[in-house]
Amino acid sequence: MRLYRLVFIALIAVAGMDMPAHAANATDPTPSAPKPFSRDAARAIVAQSRRIVSPLGVEELKQIEVNGIKQWISVRGNDRRNPILLYVHGGPGAAEMVESYGYQRPWEDFFTVVQWDQRGAGKTYASNAPEAMAPGMTVDGMVSDAEEVIRYLMSTYGKKKIFVLGHSWGSVVGLEIARRHPEWLHAYLGAGQIANQRESEAVGYRWALAQARAEHNEEAIRDLEALAPYPGPRGQLTIERIGAQRQWVMYYGGLAWGRKDFTPFDDARKLSPDYSDEEVVAIDKGSLFSLTYLLPPLESIDYAKVTRLDCPFFLFNGRHDYSTSHEVAADWFAHVAAPTKRMFWFENSAHMMMQEEPGRFLVHLVNDVRPLAVRAGDAPPDEPAAK
């Protein structure tokens, strides 16, 4: 870099041009300290670095009306001819748009990626009164919202089918779309798939308690044993109880493998180019609001009787996922028939495989998932490599 600057300065001198102030100081051994800049300035830098400049591209952050309330979507991609991939986030209420800038940009070469802040989540929560959102805060209500979003996407962007990626809680909504409207989907992708919520809770609890006992963590043992029996009788899985279990599941890497907490991912929210400070604050408020309504029906989710999907089905499974048990998901997946189905293991991931192993996630999206749209004529084939 120093050599580059010297050459640049020499060229300016030969050309007889005025030297920019920053170039003149390039060889100064004691340059002035860089000026601090605001969080908004940092967000602007992130926004510029990921700006879509392709003439066929799309970069939209907009509010649409869905079932009587304002809901936010982000639509991004380098080529409108690419298939749409709708990301249905987890939680409930855990908006993903806010931190997707950290891993999503490479997806946008191959898909038009849609992040959607669901009813009760993130920007959508911040844009509506709680009493306006409340009537739709049911599983069927959230699926109805998803149906409306998909209809909007297909109509607006001229698509007959899309891909749906459901993560964690979003895998309930996504799977219901796959069951009810298989003709809308090139494929359904489940990540951190919920198959039997109560069994998943029990598996995660036993695993965290075993880890705590193995390292003689008296605090963890005390907290976890106080929950026994866990999850307990149906209807007693409160926000406080599930929070106490998740604290130690997360501590032992069952949310993000090798990490004791989620701080690095949470901190990334602060630089999101799509969120204001107020909207970032609204995420946690929306999570509490959403869980209050959706945790009771979520506890009852059991897809044991779902043994067939009429669209292709891909399962993305983190080997260390105990937030939503990878074991329970894999056992269920083995008994599901679909026109095409494949399970991809992420050996160094827990629940957040798209962030923990983003390269491997992308490889599967490009090599295994996207070809279904190409064969259906809903995407341009990849250009051949230059000879």
Task: Judge if 6 and 127 occupy the same domain.
Answer: no
Q: For residue 231, tell me if it sits in a domain.
A: no
Q: Collapse the DSSP code of 328 into the 3-class scheme (helix H, G, I; strand E, B; otherwise coil) and give the result.
A: helix
Give the range of the structural domain holding residue 6, as residue numbers without chain letter: 2-35
Q: What is the CATH number of the domain that holds 121?
A: 3.40.50.1820
Q: Which of 15, 41, 12 is nearest to 26 (CA)?
A: 12
In this prediction, residue 74 has a pLDDT band, given cuts at 50, 70 and 90, of very high
CA distance 40 to 233: 48
Confidence band of 6 (pLDDT split at 50, 70, 90): very low
Residue 211 placed within a domain: no
Instruction: Look at residue 321 and tell me if it is in a domain.
Output: yes
Q: What is the pLDDT of residue 122?
A: 96
Q: What is the pLDDT of residue 385?
A: 40
User: Per the domain annotation, does 138 fall within a domain?
Assistant: yes
Are residues 61 and 14 part of one domain? no
**13-17, 150-154, 219-223: segment of lowest average pLDDT:** 13-17
Q: Of 127, 102, 128, 134, nearest to 115 (Cα)? A: 102
Output 3 or 140, whichever has higher pLDDT. 140
pLDDT given for residue 30 in this prediction: 63
**What does the pLDDT average to over 102-122?**
97
Extract the runs of DSSP E, i.e. beta strands, from 339-378.
341-346
Total domains, the chain:
2
**Are 137 and 6 found together in one domain?**
no
Confidence of residue 266 (pLDDT cuts 50, 70, 90): confident
Q: Give the pLDDT of residue 8.
A: 31
pLDDT of residue 2: 44
Residue 11 within any structural domain of the chain: yes
Q: 11 and 147: one domain?
A: no
Query: What is residue 37's predicted lDDT score, i.e. its pLDDT?
Result: 76
> What's the pLDDT at 264?
84
Q: Are residues 16 and 146 in the same domain?
A: no
For the chain, the average pLDDT equals 90
pLDDT at 7 over 80: no
Domain check: are 115 and 176 in the same one? yes
* Co-location of 68 and 6 in the same domain: no
Assess whether 187 and 327 both reside in one domain: yes
Is 163 in contact with 83 (CB distance < 8 Å)? yes
Kindly list the strands in the beta sheet with 313-318, ordered across the sheet, starting from the edge strand earlier in the chain: 58-66, 69-77, 112-117, 84-88, 162-167, 185-191, 313-318, 341-346
* pLDDT of res. 43: 87
Is residue 90 in some structural domain?
A: yes
Across 50-66, average pLDDT: 96
- The yes-or-no verdict on residue 268 having pLDDT over 70 is yes
376: confidence class by pLDDT, cuts 50, 70, 90: confident
Is residue 69 included in any domain, yes or no?
Answer: yes
Task: Say whether both 12 and 125 belong to one domain.
Answer: no
Q: How far apart are CA 179 and CA 158, in angstroms?
A: 23
Question: 219 lies in a domain?
Answer: no
Q: Are 188 and 331 within one domain?
A: yes
Pick the range with the lowest mean pLDDT from 117-131, 258-272, 292-306: 258-272
- The string of pLDDT tens digits covering residues 198-247 is 999 999 999 999 999 999 999 999 999 999 999 999 988 999 999 999 99
Residues 22, 126 share a domain:
no
Residues 29, 60 share a domain: no
Q: With bands split at pLDDT 50, 70 and 90, how would you rate the model's confidence at 383?
A: low
pLDDT at 361: 98
Residue that is written with structure tokens 């300016």 in the block = 12
pLDDT tens digit sequence for 320-357 = 999 999 999 999 999 999 999 999 999 999 999 999 99
Using CA atoms of 333, 261, 96, 200 in order, give the dihedral in degrees to the nearest 10: 20
d(CA 93, CA 290): 5
Question: Which band of pLDDT confidence, cut at 50, 70 and 90, is reported for residue 44?
Answer: confident
Predicted confidence (pLDDT) at residue 18 exceeds the cutoff of 70: no
